[in-house]
Amino acid sequence: MPTPSRLQVEDVRGASRLVLDGSAGLVDVVERMHRTIQRLPGPLGERVEEATRGITGLVYRSIRGSMKLLGRGLDVSLAPLAAVLPEGETTRERDVIVSILNGVFGDYLARSGNPLSIEMTLRDHGTPAPTGKLLVLVHGLCMSDHQWHHGGYSHGAALADEFGYTPLYLRYNSGLRVADNGERFAELLETLVDRWPRPVEELAIVGHSMGGLVARSACHTADQRGHAWRKHLRRLVFLGTPHHGSPLERGGHRLDYLLDLSPYSAPLTRLGKVRSAGIKDLRHGTITHHAHNVVPLPSGVACYAAAATIAARRSVVAERLLGDGLVPLDSALGHHTDRARALHFPKPRQWIGYEVRHLELLHRPEVYAQLRTWLQEPA
Instruction: Indicate the Cα dihedral angle 236, 241, 244, 246, nearest 10°.
Output: -170
Least confident window among 74-88, 184-198, 292-306? 74-88
Q: What's residue 14's pLDDT?
A: 78
Cβ contact 133:166 at 8 Å = yes
As a whole number, mean pLDDT of residues 252-258 equals: 44
Residue 139 near residue 211, CB atoms below 8 Å: yes
Which of 41-50, 229-238, 313-322 comes out lowest in average pLDDT?
41-50
pLDDT at 26: 47
| Nearest of 252, 282, 287 to residue 268 by alpha carbon | 252
Confidence of residue 2 (pLDDT cuts 50, 70, 90): low
Q: Contact, 144 vs 171, CB < 8 A?
A: yes
- Give residue-wise pLDDT tens across range 308-350: 999 888 777 666 667 899 999 999 999 999 999 999 999 999 9
For residue 292, name the pLDDT band (cuts at 50, 70, 90). Answer: confident
pTM of the model: 0.82
Question: Cα separations (Å) of 92 from 12, 85, 125, 148, 163?
Answer: 18, 21, 12, 12, 27
Count of Cβ atoms closer than 10 Å to residue 254 Cβ: 11
User: How far is residue 86's CA from residue 4's CA, in Å, rounded to a whole number?
Assistant: 8
Sequence letter at residue 1 = M
Least confident of 86-95, 237-246, 259-268, 341-350: 259-268
**Enclosing H/E stretch for 247:** helix 247-260
Whether residue 97 is predicted with pLDDT greater than 60 in this model: the reply is yes
Q: In which band, very low, low, confident or very high, does the pLDDT at 74 lie, cut at 50, 70 and 90?
A: low
Confidence of residue 142 (pLDDT cuts 50, 70, 90): very high
Q: Which pLDDT value is given to residue 57? A: 57
Alpha carbon distance 111, 60 (integer Å): 25
Among residues 256, 215, 243, the alpha carbon closest in space to that of 323 is found at 243
Answer yes or no: is pLDDT of 79 > 70: no
Contacts of 372 (CB under 8 A, 6+ apart): 159, 162
Helices 178-195 + 210-225 axis angle, to 10: 70
Q: What's the pLDDT at 307?
A: 97
* Of 328, 377, 311, residue with least CA distance to 349: 377
Other Cβ atoms closer than 10 A to 61? 14
pLDDT of residue 318: 63
Distance CA 341, CA 291 (A): 12
Q: For residue range 10-23, list pLDDT tens digits in order.
A: 777 777 777 766 55
Q: What is the pLDDT of residue 253?
A: 44
What contacts 251, CB < 8 A, 6 or more positions away?
A: none
